[in-house]
Structure 1
Amino acid sequence: MLIYKILRANEQAEFEAKGETLGAPIDLQDGYIHISTADQVKETAAKHFAGEDNLFLLALETDTLGDDLKWEVSRGGAKFPHLYRVLKADDVIWTRPLTLGANNEHAFPDDL
């Protein structure tokens, strides 16, 4: 199952340079990397990245993340995937730009 992480351009650049990341400031604060399912990621973008351009959407395969991936109740009582280790470049299946559309909403890939 694919799950998704959104990174800002500077976070993505640092991730690419280092080959791993502990995530965004909120991830560092909470002690795990916040990730979303396909059903959750659009709401995540709207809630936490409203109006932000130059974002990147990373796809991760749950089967390869091992026991460090925990499903925990979060927003609205839904279970969200949280990664309790560094995210490595090898964990990423694909990365795509996540830009703002004409209506100021993020333009997600059609296959999501």
Structure 2
Amino acid sequence: MGRIYKILKQGEWEAARAAGVFAGSAVDLADGYIHFSTAAQAVETARKHFAGQADLMVLEVEADDLAGADLRWEPSRGGDLFPHLYGPLPTAAVRHVAPAPLGPDGAPQLPELA
């Protein structure tokens, strides 16, 4: 399936690491699932939903590592299929974490995504 990405606040990631599991950001909890993006979707997600927010991190997860978890690909923005995880994300499934500092335009600058 490939790599999927979660953008979140640094404090949320630190709390998740300490707990061993990420239950979701406020929007995830409100919607009932953890929002992820593919590499192709992540830049627009960052621009649209995280502009002006400092101290952001990007989690990289191999979708196949969530086998047995309730990962669903559902239509969202423009009909694109987005990965949604209906349940907590074990922090052990996170393969890489990188900062996403704000660029001059106020949009988070994502690292190179696979």
TM-score in same-fold range (> 0.5): yes
Q: Percent identity?
A: 46
**What is the count of residue pairs matched by the alignment?**
112
Give the strand-richer structure, 1 or 2.
1
Q: Which runs of 5+ in 1 are unaligned?
A: none
Partner of 2:85: 83
Distance 1:83 1:111, change over 3 A: closer
CA distance in 2, matches of 1:66, 1:76: 27
Q: Which runs of 5+ in 2 are unaligned?
A: none
Q: 1:107 and 2:98 equivalent? A: no
CA distance in 2, matches of 1:109, 1:76: 24
The residue type equivalent to 2:20 in the other structure is: G
RMSD: 1.2
Using the size of structure 1 for normalisation, the TM-score is: 0.93
The residue type equivalent to 1:90 in the other structure is: A
Aligned residue for 1:53, secondary structure, equals coil
CA distance in 1, matches of 2:113, 2:11: 26
Q: 1:6 and 2:7 equivalent? A: yes
Distance 1:11 1:111, change over 3 A: closer
